[in-house]
Structure 1
Amino acid sequence: MWENLDRPPLDGRALTRALVDGPRGSWSRVDVVARTGSTNADLLAVADTAADRTALIADVQDAGRGRHSRSFTAPARSQVIVSALVKLPGVPPGSVGWLPLLTGVAVVDVLRTVAEVDAVLKWPNDVLVRGDESSGYAGGKVAGILVEVASTHPVVTAVSGVGINVSLTEAELPVPTATSLQLAGAAVIDRGTVVRAFLRAMGSALDEWRESGWDTAPIAELYRSRCDTLGRRVRVTMPGDTELVGVATDIDEHGRVVIVPESGDTSPVAVSAGDVTHLRALDA
């Protein structure tokens, strides 16, 4: 028996019936484990033999990794921790970088429609819930995404990992700028419902991308319309600790954020990797 009655374990058999065996099944395999180090690492280790659309979900993750190998932990069964192994036959090598953006669109749409929170994207791979001044709710980061490529030959194989804060209390948040679905007043905080909806949305998005011949233009439009970074004054810390401050004006055809610097050469700069901070008008 689990210790916290408000945080029950996920029902792996129910998820398999819904996502693999049922009439709406679009996944080859869905496994739920009580505990692991990293769901991404586990799928990367079996990428050569695992079937396309294999999903691994953990109740507890002890060695979770974000971008730049940043570690994160959370109380048991307080998050949705899911990694999805996908194979993309025929995808152009330059288009693989759109997988994290496609994943982000799927997460935002599920949080908006199922959890009924005001979720938005922060380039490149964070999902935020907007604050509400009338209620005093500050908002914050509710989910993160990490996509890792396992191989490019003979078929591009990648693992898309998602961590969604579901029932964390304010005292349990890893940083003050984080939030959870519970703190955001979500209509649904059942992890089984959230992960089922996400994997269905992800499956549909992958189907549409493949049927389009791996066209990235529709993904770009979906991403732009959900991206709260666009139109904002931002600071981007790039590899090598180089900083760029300016206004984010677009997501280009390669998935890069386009910044118009506010000083020096004001020619637009397309940034492919970096940490973005949303700034207020008077922030330095």
Structure 2
Amino acid sequence: MYTDLNRPPLDLDALRKALVSSGPDGASRAPYASLDLVEETGSTNADLLARAADSDLDRAVLVAEFQDHGRGRHARSWVAPPRSALSVSVLLRMPGLEISSLGWLPLLTGVAVVNALRSVAEVDASLKWPNDVLVGGRKVAGILAEVSQTVPVPSVVVGVGLNVSLTEDELPVPTATSLALAGAATIDRDTLLRAVLRELAVQWNAWREDGWATAGLAADYRARCATIGQPVRVSLPGDRELLGVATDVDEQGRIVVLPDGGGEPVAVAAGDVTHLRPRD
């Protein structure tokens, strides 16, 4: 029996009914083949990666009410109080996808999360390159994609951590927020999880049906990216730093920065971006 009436558990039966195919041929037209819920784990991404290694698992969803070793980019940790957030990972196999395009999956997931939050939570969500989800300039969700295998079929586990009901005192860093703090229209986690997973399926299926082409996906990403047009500081590998204005996200998913002081635009594939105050 849960004790926090403001943070009820997820309804596994209802989620499966809404999201999981009912028959071997997928006759229900639901987007996922399986959905499992655990009370506690270290990392849903790590768990799905382990399952994928010895199986043909595909379109599999794993959700945790609490994870104590949640992972973000650059091996950063992410922990939230039980049932205060959504911690969900999805395993997707992508036959025919070029290995060079694997990096688009976390960006696609960012588009899906933004769409879902704008729709059901009614918040002005946007993306900070590459895949932080912002509301009011503060991070409400993070995304981490990890490759399970590249041959014979590229397979990736993509995880989403979404702050739902965290209070100001529970936020991991001052630059974070939660849907509750942002005044979202709903903080019902069942509603939010259904919306995120359905939108992820919509975006992923559209990408697959487009032959894994990136032009349309890049346009959708740019339309939701708050980094474009912003003065930024990019922390690069090797303790290097780039200051300038972000002008674009190219079709390789790189952020393009026009350096301060002039020079040619620089396309950055990996780095930490900080949005700076607009210059007078």
Q: 1:157 to 1:141 in 2, by over 3 A?
A: same
Matched, 1:275 2:272: yes
Once the two structures are TM-superposed, the CA of residue 241 in structure 1 deviates from its matched residue by 1.7
Give the corresponding residue for 1:20: 20
Q: 2:201 aligns with which of 203, 210, 213?
A: 203
Q: Contact conserved, 2:231 with 2:279, CA < 8 A, in 1?
A: no
Is 1:43–2:40 an aligned residue pair?
Answer: no
Report the identity percentage.
62
Report the Cα distance in structure 1 between the residues aligned to 2:90 and 2:184, rounded to whole angstroms: 24
Aligned length: 274
Query: Which residue of structure 2 lines up, in the alignment, with residue 34 of structure 1?
Result: 39
In structure 2, the partner of 1:169 is 167
- 2:73 is aligned to 67
Structure 2 length normalisation: TM-score?
A: 0.95
3-state SS, counterpart of residue 233 of structure 2: strand
Secondary structure of the corresponding residue to residue 247 of structure 1: strand
- Using the TM superposition, give the Cα deviation of residue 204 of structure 1 relative to its aligned residue in structure 2, in angstroms: 1.2
Q: Which residue of 2 aligns with 1:58?
A: 64
**Is the 8 Å Cα contact of residues 18 and 24 (structure 1) preserved in structure 2?**
no
- Paired residues for 1:234-245 under 5 Å: 234-245=232-243
Q: Tell me by how many angstroms 1:266 deviates.
A: 1.6
Task: Give the Cα–Cα distance (whole angstroms) in 1 for the partners of residues 21 and 95 of structure 2.
Answer: 24
Distance (Å, rounded) in 1 between the aligned partners of 2:176 and 2:45? 22
Query: In the alignment, residue 34 of structure 2 is paired with which amino acid?
Result: R
The 2-side partners of 1:194 and 1:141 are apart by 17
1:239-263 Cα deviation digits (max 9, x unpaired):
1121000000000110000000003
User: 2:114 and 2:278 mapped to 1: Cα distance?
Assistant: 26
> In structure 2, what is the Cα distance between the partners aligned to 1:95 and 1:281?
33
Q: Which residue of 1 aligns with 2:258?
A: 260
Q: Which residue number corresponds to residue 134 of structure 1?
A: none
Q: Which residue of the partner structure matches residue 8 of structure 2?
A: 8
C-alpha displacement of 1:282 = 4.9
Cα distance in 2 for residues equivalent to 1:242 and 1:216: 29
- Residue 10 of structure 2 aligns with an amino acid whose one-letter code is L
User: How many angstroms apart in 2 are the aligned matches of 1:126 and 1:224?
Assistant: 14
Say yes or no: does 1:111 pair with 2:117: yes
- In 2, Cα distance between equivalents of 1:198 and 1:152: 26
Q: Name segments (4+ residues, structure 1) moved above 6 Å.
A: none
Counterparts of 1:241 and 1:262, CA distance in 2 = 18
Asked whether the equivalents of residues 51 and 57 of structure 2 are also in contact (C-alpha less than 8 Å), the reply is no
Distance 1:198 1:112 in 2: 11
Does structure 2 retain, via aligned residues, the 8 Å contact 1:147–1:161?
A: yes
State the SS of the aligned residue for 1:195: helix
Q: C-alpha distance in 1, partners of 2:67/2:86?
A: 10
Structure 1, unaligned runs of 5 or more: 131-138
Q: CA deviation at 1:206?
A: 1.1
Q: RMSD across aligned C-alpha pairs, in angstroms?
A: 1.2
SS at match of 1:167: coil
TM-score, normalised with respect to structure 1: 0.94
Counterpart check, 1:223 vs 2:221: yes
Pairing 1:95–2:86 present = no
Retained in 2: the 8 A contact 1:150–1:157?
yes
